[in-house]
Every structure is written in structure tokens, then in C-alpha cells.
Structure 1
């Protein structure tokens, strides 16, 4: 019963996150973008949970030194095969190490709430990304669409589309992190650090293709694939002044929901104890 209530509450958290970040495209901060959770669940206090906790702790520690790192915990040891966990963290290429560390720390604190007891999960914030699986996914090209967001249309603006096409064409040369601009249009793209240069170019090319096919004539668009993303926007479209208020609102909402979850958990535990005492 407790797990069911917590799962329903965390699903509501994802929906609420999405609604709070659906308007505008904040360029800074730890704003929630998307999360993915496996349907397969592990048991609390299992060997997998112990290895996962070690991996997440390693990600937080590592992010204070490098913007990307990958991990494999439990492979090649006496640990049961189903307890092995693989994972990585990566920050946006223009983030300073201090900001990277804070972002990864925030992602790690949220991923267990958004994806409770999941054998695999990914969480993308504005400035960083974290993912873990119980199978080895590292270095294996995956261009599946994970998230897209499109602004309002700017139809019949020939100059804008010419500039946009210049930007997204330039982004296809990304190896790692790449920023591009043309006139009033700006953009950037990034691959995960476990991809080879060839796979990175292939992934970004797919992301750019989806920017056009999914978002069409949008003034700003984001496309996140499993191992890369590409974004463009018209200059001035990202409102940095609204970013902080939006981020504050998300933070307050998370605090409220986490408090509710804690209250529900305590209530159910006390109710269970009382029933056992009376029974």
C-alpha cells in the first residue's frame, strides 16, 4: 500500500514538474526537463539497491571534478548478476564545475523520488543528466526520442528560417558540446561522453532532423534523444528573468510534495504499528 501511494505521488510530481516548465525555455538553473523510469522494480535492501546507492554517491563525488563520468558497480565480482548497475552523469558543456556538481547533486536527490525502486532510470535537468541501468548501455548508440518541446510558430519569416537552418546545420558538426549562432538565432548541441565522434555526429544529425520534423516552424525547439540533444531559439526567446522565479516555484513545489510524501509514509507506518499492537 505504501509503495502504491508513493508511486502515485511521484507520478503526480512528474506531471506537475512538466506543467511548471511547459512555458518558456529557461536557459539556466536546474529546471526539470524529463525523466524515464523502467517498469521493472527492485526490492528494497537488495544487493542492487546497495550498488545503486554506491553509484549515485560516486556520481555526486565525481561531478565536483569532471563534467562527465561513467560507472559500473558489481560487474566482474561475486555480486549476483542482477545486482550489477551501470550509470553516468554529464553536465552541459558550458557549466562550471561548481555548478555541475550542484546540478548532479540535485538530479541524484530527485531520481529516487521520480523513479522509485526502478531497475533503470534517467533524469534530465536543464544543466545536467544522470542515468543508470542494470544492463550495460554505455557507449552503445541509441537515438530514440526521449523528449521534445516546441514553441509557438513563426510562419512566413524567411530570414528566421534561413538563420535557423544555418545554426542547425552547424550543430551537426558537434563532437561533445557545440554552440552556434547566426543573426538572431542561437543554438547548441551535446552528446554523451561515452559516444565516439562518429556516433556523436550521427546522433546530433538525427536530433537536428527531428527539430525540423517534430517542431516545424517553431521559434524555439528542444529535442532530446537517448544520447544527445539539440536546441535552437530566436534571440530573446529565453527570458532569464523568468528563470529564477520559475525555478523557485519548482523548488517550492518539490519541497511541498516531498513533505507530503514523508507525512504519508509516517502515517502509514504508525497505522501499521497500531494494527499489529491491537491485533
Structure 2
């Protein structure tokens, strides 16, 4: 996966600011973008679930440590250039071999993928001890290992589920089913990672990296069926099968981020003082996953005004009108420079 590149254009909604005013605005927009970018979010490393075998690693702790170190080293080395990789490693004395793999979410940059895998691999022993097999799923990636000869399971066996609370009401289930249908069509079109939205429903699916198109399509279809049974009318859900997973979310005010597995540029609009800066975020390379990022429109002057009003009503502490501390600091610095 290639590196992210960004460029901008502007569209005047009101008379365009002077050059002395526009440059600080551009710097401000880039700074705010850095704070709000999903790539910078720590939730890539959130633990979703772990699966640990009941059997212990044959050969004891020393053999386990050597084999795991060799496997981890091999996986880490490939995480900087691949979003999916599997291999087999063994200890230096030719003892018990370990099969292992990792896969990153299809919309991650190379650097985020590498960081996610590096964060995950040390979790194997800390979460599962000397288990003969382990699988750890983070929000941004997953990795597993198992000793040679470990019993295999069906690729469509459910490993983990999580369902939101409450129901969407109205046409929620109809819209969800339509989004699921679009998701399955996208996967059937040869996209191992695919996201789409319909109405207020956002959905995502990903198959294991070397799964055939037919097996991927079948796996996602099974995951969709299981989500309808397991989660019913819940407004969100994640279904993890052995070879694929899906997720869906309901946004009452409309989907704020959506994508497609088919290649292209992401678009981000950020508005400041009547000037709209549109950032095109693309991934370059032969194996690129397309994603689109939509963020809320941010008006820095509203942030500053809200903070001043809140400070006047709360003894100077300021509730910041619900804005983050990072955004407030950036806007205050901008405000001081412009005075």
C-alpha cells in the first residue's frame, strides 16, 4: 500500500480572504486535519477480542519463546510493505514450528499497518501465555499463530460478535438490508475489502488476504446472515468469522464517512471563515484500497466564541461548547496571532 498524499483546492463561498489572512487559515486547516485524521486515532489499537487455545505449547517456555520470537520478527519485517502476510517459523534448534499471519484493515496506510502489527504481536504472550494457538483482533489489524498440526475449523465459524443496543426504528432494517446487499455485491466484484453506505447505514467487510473471490463472497454472505440472527434490529454490529468479518453502524444524522473498495481519492472538506479547503487523500500503488473520509465542518471562530461565552458563564473555566481540548488550543493560538 502506498503512502498517503494530500493536496488542496479552495472554493469561495464568500469573497476570498486576503493572502495574509488565507495563509494562516491554511496552516490552521492542516493542523486541525492532523488532530482529526483517523490515522492518528489510538482506536486502531483497541482490543476487540482474543482467542487462546486450551492446550499449551509443546516443548515448554523456552521453545515457545524462541519460536514466537522468530515468527514475530518475520511478521514485523513484512508489515511495513504488506497488509497481509503468512509464514512458518521455528526455533533455532529446529524445534516445533509455528504458523502465523497478520492482516491489516484495508483502509490503513502502510505506516499505520506496521504500527498496528508491532503493537499487537507482543500481546500474544501477555494475553494467552504459552498457548499452542492464539488469535488477537484489534480495531486496525489482527494476527494469529498456531503450532503445526493444530486442529482447523470452518472458515465460516463465528469467533466473536458484538451488537449495539436499541433499534433504529422506521425503515432501519430495510436500509440495513439494502446496505448489506450492496456490500455483498461489492465483495462479489473481487474486492476483499469493501465499504459502502445506504441511507444512514454504513457497512464494511473484509476477507482474509488469500481467500478466493468465491470463498470470500460466501463468507461475507454467511456473516450477513449471522448478523441478522445474532443482532436482530440492533443499530450496530460486528460479526467475526474465521476467514472474514463484517460491521455495520447506524447514523441518525446520516453517514459521515463512507468508502468503496474500488479505487479513487478520498475527499475532505473543512470550512473556515467562509473558505472551504478540500483535501484529496489518496493512496498510490498497485495494491491500493480506496477510502473516503468525511469530517464535520469546523468553524474556528465558532469554537473561540463558544469558549468565551462558556468562560463568562462558568467562572472562567469554560466548557468549550463540547469542543475538544486540542481543537480549542489550535483555535486560540490562531485567534491570538490574528489580533
Aligned counterparts, 1:46-85, within 5 A: 46=63, 48-74=64-90, 79-80=94-95, 83-85=96-98
Which of 45, 54, 60 is the equivalent residue of 1:30?
A: 45
Give TM-score scaled by structure 1 length: 0.69
Which of 103, 109, 125 is the equivalent residue of 1:90?
A: 103
Q: Secondary structure at the match of 1:124?
A: strand
**Is 1:229 aligned to 2:245, yes or no?**
yes
Q: Secondary structure at the match of 1:179?
A: strand
Which has the larger strand fraction? Answer: 2
Which of 138, 162, 173 is the equivalent residue of 1:125?
A: 138
- Report how many aligned residue pairs link the two structures: 214
Runs of 4+ in 1 over 4 A off after TM superposition: 236-241
Q: Secondary structure at the match of 1:71?
A: strand
Instruction: For residues 88-121 of structure 1, give each alpha carbon's deviation from its aligned partner in whole angstroms, at most 9, with x where no partner exists.
Output: 0000000111011111111112121000111100
Contact 2:66 2:90 in 1 (8 A): no
Give TM-score scaled by structure 2 length: 0.57
C-alpha RMSD over aligned residues: 3.1
**Is 1:202 aligned to 2:218, yes or no?**
yes
Instruction: For residues 65-105 of structure 1, give each alpha carbon's deviation from its aligned partner in whole angstroms, at most 9, with x where no partner exists.
Output: 11110011249x9834xx01111000000011101111111
Query: Which residue does 1:44 correspond to in 2?
Result: 61
CA distance change for structure 1 residues 210 and 88 in 2, over 3 Å: closer, same or farther? same
**Is 1:172 aligned to 2:189, yes or no?**
no
Offset, 1:200: 1.0
Distance 1:32 1:232 in 2: 18
Contact 1:38 1:121 in 2 (8 A): yes
Query: Which residue does 2:5 correspond to in 1?
Result: none
Contact 1:141 1:199 in 2 (8 A): no
Query: Which residue does 1:182 correspond to in 2?
Result: 198
Q: Secondary structure at the match of 1:51?
A: helix
**Which 5+ residue runs of structure 1 have no aligned equivalent?**
1-25, 245-279
CA distance change for structure 1 residues 224 and 27 in 2, over 3 Å: closer, same or farther? farther
When Rg is computed on C-alpha atoms for both structures, the one with the higher figure is 2
Instruction: For residues 218-243 of structure 1, give each alpha carbon's deviation from its aligned partner in whole angstroms, at most 9, with x where no partner exists.
Output: 001110111110111012699999xx
Distance 1:197 1:136 in 2: 27
Contact 1:27 1:126 in 2 (8 A): no
Offset, 1:207: 0.7
Query: Which residue does 2:283 correspond to in 1?
Result: none
Moved more, 159-168 or 94-103: 159-168
Query: Which residue does 1:7 correspond to in 2?
Result: none
Which has the larger helix fraction? Answer: 1
Query: Which residue does 1:153 correspond to in 2?
Result: 166
